[in-house]
Structure 1
């Protein structure tokens, strides 16, 4: 009888695969980049958070999202304690991270004060200009290469960035997420959209991945599970529907290796 009971227990456990086990996966995000990823009353929100959560669940993990100031989120993730969402590639980050296939893309726009516009025909027109951006943020390879030629003011608050812009302390402000990100921050800042000008076309498209730290145990296996989950979500359309609700176009399937990597920024 004992042998039969033991066999029954073993047989039941044999059907539990790693994807079915309660494996917690910590996902780091920014606490101050709405509506992409942010914290509200201590709860992580945003479309980059929901996309990462969806992928983790599809991969069989139990996601635990932690919102922190962006630079701290990068440092915590790099230590191996969790992955990070909405992550752009740079050669500097390549030393510490693997990247999943493409998660999402969104537009990077330049915002000017309506009362002080200036022509922008190329990134070269921003050289020497006082431009505000999120502390630690990186964008497309072309925009990343142009950043050192600007006078960059990094901050931890997009609404503050807009307040500095309309006050004349900045000549321009960068926002990933396009017009919806600008409108959200304008509401938070108490700045009327009529006081702002969003330069068209966008400065570029920011490809975002899930970053898997090389210091994480079995990092390559974690990346493989997440990539397989991404492929299934692309095929069944669930990720596309989530991104479309946020006003984004779902990216085509592309491996991170196909993306041009920019030089390390100072």
Structure 2
């Protein structure tokens, strides 16, 4: 009996030691996230679903993220200075020259959002010729979008306040706002999400009862990545790539991304 107890105790101690070792082996890295401001200019609480996704990558890649919320352009500068990696980043020709990207872990559909009657019929990028398109400051929405910006349409970069961007659209200071959505496939689903979740739940009196329209189809497709400066955090991005590959193979990545809009 004593021998059995000794063996059980040894197994427990070894398990505890292994857990400590695994925790110690986690690579700590600063992770830059986009700020999202309310109408008063205060940071909105981080999306619990996004935190679930980040926790997934910590566990699967053996990392420990120190999250830092910054204005998006500032986050990009800090990343280029080699001070950490950035999350939720999309590719562009310019960025490809200076950033090292992970594999894509999600594909976003880029929808057009409009306000007022009659509803514009924007079905393809060419339909936006001569129009003013609102995007978040410091954002890119993929290679095709970047090829069209300020060539087919004019881009205006707006504040990090979601509600302020909707109000600008109402004021006709832009013809259309682009909005990336993960997971939703149909116009009505996207409209319901934007109007019921983002707009009405903001409880802004100026937006009470206001309805925004969404284009019949996505105008662009974009992929989302982790990224670092070229030559920096290569080992960290490699760990993330392995986690993405395994997650796609065993289905766990798709599961954690479900309902992540």
TM-score where L is the length of structure 1:
0.75
Q: Displacement of 1:165 after TM fit?
A: 0.9
Match for residue 157 of structure 2?
Answer: 154
Q: Specify the SS of the correspondent of 1:205.
A: strand
Match for residue 5 of structure 1?
Answer: none
Q: Specify the SS of the correspondent of 2:64.
A: strand
- Alignment length, in residue pairs? 227
Matched, 1:84 2:86: yes
Q: Distance between the aligned counterparts of 1:57 and 1:45, measured in 2? A: 19
Q: Is the Cα–Cα contact under 8 Å of residues 37 and 44 in structure 2 kept in the other structure?
A: no
Q: 1:134 to 1:182 in 2, by over 3 A?
A: farther
Match for residue 230 of structure 2?
Answer: 214
Q: Specify the SS of the correspondent of 1:95.
A: helix
Q: 1:61 to 1:69 in 2, by over 3 A?
A: same
Q: Is the Cα–Cα contact under 8 Å of residues 132 and 174 in structure 1 kept in the other structure?
A: yes
Alpha-carbon RMSD? 2.8
Of the three residues 4, 26, 42, the one matched with 2:30 is 26
Give runs of aligned pairs for residues 1-266 of structure 1, distance below 5 A: 16=21, 20-32=24-36, 39-41=43-45, 44-45=46-47, 47-149=49-151, 150-156=153-159, 157-177=161-181, 179=190, 180=193, 183-187=196-200, 188=202, 191=207, 195-214=211-230, 216=232, 219-246=233-260
Q: Displacement of 1:83 after TM fit?
A: 1.0
Q: Distance between the aligned counterparts of 2:28 and 2:237, measured in 1? A: 15
Q: Which runs of 5+ in 1 are unaligned?
A: 1-11, 248-266
Q: 1:234 to 1:28 in 2, by over 3 A?
A: same
Q: 1:176 to 1:33 in 2, by over 3 A?
A: farther
Q: Is the Cα–Cα contact under 8 Å of residues 212 and 222 in structure 1 kept in the other structure?
A: no
Q: Distance between the aligned counterparts of 2:148 and 2:108, measured in 1? A: 19
Q: Which runs of 5+ in 2 are unaligned?
A: 1-16, 183-189
Q: Distance between the aligned counterparts of 2:166 and 2:118, measured in 1? A: 13
Q: Is the Cα–Cα contact under 8 Å of residues 79 and 215 in structure 1 kept in the other structure?
A: no
Match for residue 252 of structure 1?
Answer: none
Cα-to-partner distance string for 1:215-240 (whole Å, 9 max, x where unaligned): 53xx3222211111222222332221
Q: Distance between the aligned counterparts of 1:121 and 1:22, measured in 2? A: 47
Q: 1:91 to 1:183 in 2, by over 3 A?
A: farther
